[in-house]
Structure formats: structure tokens, C-alpha cells
Amino acid sequence: MNIVRKIKLESLGYYVCKDNTEKELFEFIKDNFYDLEKVEIPKFGNNIIYYIKNNAIIFSENSNSYYLIKINPSLIWWELENRFKFNYNETRELLTLIVKDICNIKDDIYVTSYFSLMSFEYIYKLYHKEKYPNLLNRILKFLKI
């Protein structure tokens, strides 16, 4: 049974986590991937959809093509590898399952741990300057610029 299904069953009371590590992983996934704000900027023709939580971009997808999903490395990818000891392939497989579930994607996708500065600046400057005033500073700090 895949982890997304286990999380759903656990939230309904039909599954009990096998240990504290699994419970902690479920909480991490629920805290970071559920109740995301979906932000689209169709005006500029790039059709990128950003999924945001607590003033941070969790991941983005290109709505013209579900083939490339960009995961925020510092908030998600590295956390799974360092805190939960997942290797690269395990991390990518888990995130693929989660994103396909959240975005209701049936096709194959490629998940990567990369965000370009341009994408961050783009969303900050063109769409959410008032709503997320500290986003650019967090991005620059993350990128050590």
C-alpha cells in the first residue's frame, strides 16, 4: 500500500502507524502538502502553478505539461533525505506519489528538487508582493545571495 493511501486511511482511523518515525513522516507530509494555496499567473503565458503554504513555495508545476514538477529543496527534499534518511530515488518516488495525488495527475511526471531564482522573483514581483512581503528575502537568504 502506498504512503498516500496510508495517510488517508490513518486520518480516517483505518490505519495505525507502525512506529514513531512513520507517524512523524505522515505529520511532515500533512503539514507541508495539505491545504496548499494554488496560485496561477496565466496573464504572462507561462502557465506555472505555484503551491504555497506559510509564505513558502512548496512546489510548482507547468500547467501546459505535467511532466516537470519542481520541489522546494530546502523545505521538502533535503528534509526528507536528512531527517527521514531517504535516498534520492526514494525521495523522488515519494514526492511523485504525493504530487500526483494533490494535483490529480494520472500521467507520468518527473519530480526534481530545483527552483530557479527567476521563478521566485517572478511570483513575488508580479503577483504576491503585498500578500507575501518577506518571500523575496527568504529566497535570497536560501540562495545565499
Instruction: Determine the Cα–Cα distance for residues 9 and 28; give it in Å rounded to an integer.
Output: 16
Q: State residue 118's pLDDT score.
A: 47
Closest CA to 46 of 135, 121, 142: 121
* Per-residue pLDDT tens over the stretch 16-71: 999 999 999 999 999 999 889 888 766 555 677 888 888 778 888 876 666 778 88
Q: pTM for this structure?
A: 0.74
Question: Residue ranges of the domains in the chain?
Answer: 3-143
